[in-house]
């Protein structure tokens, strides 16, 4: 029995790091606020049809219904096609959240592959891959994105792929650094000394111990991805209309800024709240699970 108990406590040690992290995270007021914002946004995206009776895309009775200021029936007013702005903001959350999550997943995937390859193989492969990362990072993201958008004209899936394909470099650096530092740790050396093969080491030790850091970093990056998507939308190069993309809505409101201030204002607030939510969540997760602070 006592043997079992000892075994359990050894096996439980890594999990207790996680539970320590969660305890730290739950104590963070900013982190909980961020989690609340993000969860509410996903809820809004899912139950959008229950929140508003209006169609976000179909045009209404345009001459009568266009540019209606915020009122009882239309709490955020209507746009130049007589569409309810509240409905468009609510349905727009689906686009921003989907793009943010999927593009972040792509950056994790690409960044992990490149970073792990560079860190594990080292030598020439490392040098070449990291110089490509440096070169891509020296072209400002928006320039890179715009160039790609110009070359491959767009749908929402293409935007997702491009946002992912232009955002993986920082993740690659992070994963490479993690793999390099973990490779020389005693428990990895011990596993190798006990006869574990390279693949076993990577899957049993390197990947699980890197995954947390990667996911935390990815959470922190979703906000930036949503901002980048909104910037593309604002430049008229994002998700093609009439889909209710927040950036595009701010852009469309620009021409009537003086007479219909609500068109640009509310979608912009939606973007800001979403990005704040993900940044709060990501910051708190980073603080809670940063290995340097666990020590």
Partner 1 sequence: MRGFLARRLIQSLVLLFIVLTITFFLLRLAPGDPMSRYYNPDFSPETVRSIRESLGLDKPLAEQYFRWIGSFVRGDFGVSLRYRRPVRDLLAEAIPNTLRLTVTALALHLILGIFLGVLSAAKRHSPFDRVNTVAALFIYSIPSFWLALMLILVFSLKLGVLPSSHMQSLDTEGFSALSLALDRARHLVLPAFVLGIASAASTARYMRGSMLDALREDYIRTARAKGLPESRVFLKHAFKNAALPVVTIVGLSLPFLFGGAVVVETIFSWPGMGRLAVDAIYARDYPTILAINFTVAAIVILGNLLTDVAYGLLDPRIAFAGGKKG
Residue matched to tokens 């900013």: 30
Tokens at residue 20, please?
Answer: 């320590």
> In angstroms, what is the minimal distance from the CB of 81 to partner 1?
20
What Cα–Cα distance (Å) separates residue 142 from each residue in 138, 147, 267? 11, 8, 21
User: Which of 159, 280, 281, 285: binder of partner 1 (CB under 8 A)?
Assistant: 280
> In angstroms, what is the minimal distance from the CB of 114 to partner 1?
14
- Give yes or no for residue 110 binding partner 1 (CB under 8 A): no
Nearest residue (CB) to partner 1, 37 versus 202: 37
Side-chain half-sphere exposure of 162, counting CA atoms within 13 A: 25
User: Which of 150, 185, 190, 294: binder of partner 1 (CB under 8 A)?
Assistant: 150
- Give yes or no for residue 288 binding partner 1 (CB under 8 A): no
Number of residues that bind partner 1 (CB under 8 A): 46
Sign of CA dihedral 150, 152, 153, 156: negative
User: Which of 9, 19, 98, 147: binder of partner 1 (CB under 8 A)?
Assistant: 147
Are 188 and 178 in contact by the 8 Å Cβ rule? The answer is no
User: Which of 264, 281, 284, 289: binder of partner 1 (CB under 8 A)?
Assistant: 264
User: Which of 47, 190, 257, 294: binder of partner 1 (CB under 8 A)?
Assistant: 257
- Give yes or no for residue 149 binding partner 1 (CB under 8 A): yes
User: Which of 78, 231, 245, 248: binder of partner 1 (CB under 8 A)?
Assistant: 231
- Give yes or no for residue 81 binding partner 1 (CB under 8 A): no
User: Which of 276, 286, 287, 290: binder of partner 1 (CB under 8 A)?
Assistant: 276
Are 88 and 248 in contact by the 8 Å Cβ rule? The answer is no
Side-chain half-sphere exposure of 164, counting CA atoms within 13 A: 21
- Give yes or no for residue 73 binding partner 1 (CB under 8 A): no
The answer, yes or no, to whether the previous bond of 99 is cis (omega within 30 of 0) is no
- Which residues are 78's β-sheet partners? 84
Q: In this chain, which stretch among 82-90, 116-124, 171-179, 226-234 interacts with partner 1, using CB under 8 A? A: 226-234
- Give yes or no for residue 33 binding partner 1 (CB under 8 A): no
Q: CB atoms < 10 A from the CB of 244, how many? A: 24
CA distance 86 to 48: 10
What Cα–Cα distance (Å) separates residue 295 from each residue in 23, 27, 276, 288, 289? 15, 18, 29, 12, 11
> In angstroms, what is the minimal distance from the CB of 173 to partner 1?
13
CA distance 262 to 239: 21
117: which residues sit within 8 A by CB, 6+ positions away?
A: 125, 129
> In angstroms, what is the minimal distance from the CB of 142 to partner 1?
4
Nearest residue (CB) to partner 1, 202 versus 281: 281
Identify residues 115-144 at the interface with partner 1 (CB under 8 A).
131-132, 134-144
What Cα–Cα distance (Å) separates residue 229 from each residue in 34, 61, 145, 150, 188? 20, 31, 10, 15, 40
User: Which of 103, 279, 281, 284: binder of partner 1 (CB under 8 A)?
Assistant: 279
Site residues for partner 1 per CB under 8 A: 30, 131-132, 134-144, 146-152, 223, 227, 230-231, 234-237, 247, 250-251, 253-254, 257-258, 261, 264-265, 268, 271-272, 275-276, 279-280
């Amino acid at each position: 029995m006592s043997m079992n108990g000892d075994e359990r406590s050894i096996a439980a040690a890594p999990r207790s790091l996680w539970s320590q992290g969660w305890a730290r995270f739950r104590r963070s007021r900013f982190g909980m606020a961020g989690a609340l914002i993000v969860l509410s946004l996903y809820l809004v995206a899912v139950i959008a049809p229950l929140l508003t009776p209006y169609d976000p895309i179909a045009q209404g009775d345009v001459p009568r219904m266009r540019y209606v200021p915020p009122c009882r029936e239309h709490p955020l007013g209507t746009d130049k096609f007589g569409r309810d702005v509240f409905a468009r903001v609510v349905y727009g959350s689906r686009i921003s959240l989907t793009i943010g999550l999927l593009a972040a997943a792509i950056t994790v995937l690409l960044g992990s592959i490149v970073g792990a390859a560079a860190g594990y193989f080292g030598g020439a492969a490392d040098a070449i891959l990291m110089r490509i990362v440096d070169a891509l990072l020296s072209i400002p993201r928006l320039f890179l994105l715009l160039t790609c958008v110009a070359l491959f004209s767009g749908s929402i899936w293409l935007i997702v792929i491009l946002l992912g394909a232009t955002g993986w470099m920082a993740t690659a650096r992070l994963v490479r650094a993690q793999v390099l530092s973990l490779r020389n740790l005693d428990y990895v050396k011990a596993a190798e000394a006990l006869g574990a093969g390279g693949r076993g080491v990577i899957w049993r030790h390197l990947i699980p111990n890197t995954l947390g850091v990667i996911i935390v970093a990815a959470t922190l990056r979703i906000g930036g991805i949503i901002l980048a998507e909104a910037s593309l939308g604002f430049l008229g190069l994002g998700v093609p209309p009439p889909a209710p993309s927040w950036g595009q809505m701010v852009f469309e409101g620009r021409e009537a800024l003086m007479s219909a201030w609500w068109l640009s204002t509310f979608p912009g607030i939606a973007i800001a709240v979403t990005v704040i939510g993900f940044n709060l969540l990501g910051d708190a997760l980073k603080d809670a699970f940063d290995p340097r602070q666990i020590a």
